[in-house]
């Protein structure tokens, strides 16, 4: 696969792109990688999306384990190798087991999940598959999470689907690391 939008050199950047790049580097991410490589072509959009992602990853109410599980489910559903590779070590560090990640990568239901992980898996899978949430999935989610957390879960699915579409369009190669099965 050919990288359609490889990293831009500093000499190629406009002032707006330089500012957007600096904002990412000086923020909690600390570097430009993954979707921010192609997004740098649209610096204002990059800034706006980066703010949403920064809230979800660093300031949201969901525990890191649940947030990362939702990200990994979305990455697998979108067949997105770059997001999978970037977030796999974060998910492991947050407490998602290798067995759970392996099952998700193979589009299988992981065994013996805690109730909050079961609720997350059901919620994200249903939302991505049907683009809506049944009363049953909502009520299971509500039994585990606040309404704010449910909105954050839905937003994670949408945000990481957006990033996956950008990465898939640009054919951004994944960094070294874990990969989804072909």
Give the pLDDT mean for 43-52: 97
Note whether 78 and 139 are same-domain residues.
yes
Note whether 18 and 91 are same-domain residues.
no
Give the tens place of pLDDT for each residue, 169-181: 999 999 888 888 8
Note whether 88 and 153 are same-domain residues.
yes
Beta carbons within 8 Å of 133's beta carbon, 6+ residues apart? 123, 126, 127, 141, 154
Note whether 144 and 83 are same-domain residues.
yes
pLDDT band per the 50, 70, 90 thresholds, residue 164: very high
Give the tens place of pLDDT for each residue, 100-156: 999 999 999 999 999 999 999 999 999 999 999 999 999 999 999 999 999 999 999
Rg of the chain taking only CA atoms, in angstroms: 17
pLDDT band per the 50, 70, 90 thresholds, residue 182: confident
d(CA 124, CA 74) in angstroms, rounded, equals 7
Give the tens place of pLDDT for each residue, 51-74: 999 999 999 999 999 999 999 999
Closest CA to 73 of 30, 21, 113: 113
Residue 19 falls inside a structural domain = yes
Note whether 87 and 52 are same-domain residues.
no
pTM for the complete prediction?
Answer: 0.95
Total domain count, the chain: 2
Note whether 53 and 68 are same-domain residues.
no
d(CA 78, CA 137) in angstroms, rounded, equals 21
Closest CA to 84 of 156, 171, 160: 160
Give the pLDDT mean for 28-33: 94
Note whether 140 and 155 are same-domain residues.
yes
d(CA 22, CA 139) in angstroms, rounded, equals 42
Note whether 75 and 137 are same-domain residues.
yes
């Amino acid at each position: 696969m050919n990288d359609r939008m490889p990293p831009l050199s500093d000499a190629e950047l406009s002032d707006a792109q330089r500012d957007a790049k600096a904002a990412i580097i000086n923020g909690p991410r600390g570097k430009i990688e993954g979707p921010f490589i192609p997004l740098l072509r649209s610096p204002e959009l990059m800034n706006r999306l980066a703010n949403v992602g920064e809230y979800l990853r660093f300031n949201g109410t969901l525990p890191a384990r649940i947030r990362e599980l939702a990200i990994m489910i979305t990455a697998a559903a979108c067949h997105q190798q770059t997001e999978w590779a970037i977030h796999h070590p974060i998910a492991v560090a947050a407490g998602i087991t290798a067995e759970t990640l392996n099952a998700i990568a193979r589009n299988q239901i992981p065994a013996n999940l805690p109730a909050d992980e079961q609720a997350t898996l059901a919620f994200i899978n249903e939302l991505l598959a049907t683009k809506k949430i049944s009363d049953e999935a909502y009520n299971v989610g509500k039994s585990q999470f606040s309404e704010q957390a449910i909105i954050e879960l839905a937003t994670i699915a949408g945000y990481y689907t957006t990033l996956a579409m950008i990465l898939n369009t640009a054919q951004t190669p994944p960094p070294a690391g874990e990969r989804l099965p072909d």
